[in-house]
Amino acid sequence: RKLQDRPSIAEVLTCLSFCALSTDDANQSGRLLKEAQTSWQEAGNHFSTGFGLGFRGAVALRQGNYKRAATLYSDAITDCEGAGDGRVSGWLAFQLAVVLKELGDLPQALQLMQDGVRVTLEYQDRWFLSIGLEATLLIAGDQLDPEQRARVVGAREALHLYTGSVPGVLERASGYT
């Protein structure tokens, strides 16, 4: 069946890109996401454009291209906030924070972590908060004393159990495994 409308085309391309990324075909995923983003732009859907930029950032991160990932995550935050979706910008802030730490900008990474936590608490988004706690361990885990680290790990695990999220998502995406 041939799809005629841009949103449907964009949705199919987005789903295919997620499948490609989950099978470690980052190049194919990136190509599909770029096509999806073009379709979202043509459809005038700024939120999905921003979300797509965020996943393109994940592809760049998976490929080890930290500077490109930082640019894509930053652009994605701008697009999502411009579309009025602060909730997703919290998740994107966590992703960008991990990248900035890898690029050596720990102060900015920590600031983004605080911003992301504030947003996820504001929206009461337990799924994104569990990702934020995971990012906290990646970014500042070595700076936490044993009691603080235990509290963060315990909270992260409790949220993973509650939300059904998969532990280790950021570690795998950023090559920490």
Segment 65-92 shows an average pLDDT of 88
* Dihedral sign for Cα atoms in the order 120, 121, 123, 126: positive
CA angle 75-77-78, nearest 5°?
65
For the chain, give the mean pLDDT: 81
Q: Is 83 exposed, middle or buried (0-12, 13-18, 19+ CB in 10 A)?
A: middle
Segment 12-21 shows an average pLDDT of 82
The pLDDT value given to residue 134: 85
Predicted TM-score (pTM) of this structure = 0.74
pLDDT tens for residues 98-130?
A: 999 999 999 999 999 889 888 888 888 888 888
Q: Is the pLDDT of residue 65 over 90?
A: yes
The pLDDT value given to residue 74: 94
C-alpha 176/C-alpha 61 separation (Å) is 11
The pLDDT value given to residue 174: 47
Q: Is 36 exposed, middle or buried (0-12, 13-18, 19+ CB in 10 A)?
A: buried
C-alpha 176/C-alpha 171 separation (Å) is 5
CA angle 143-113-133, nearest 5°?
70
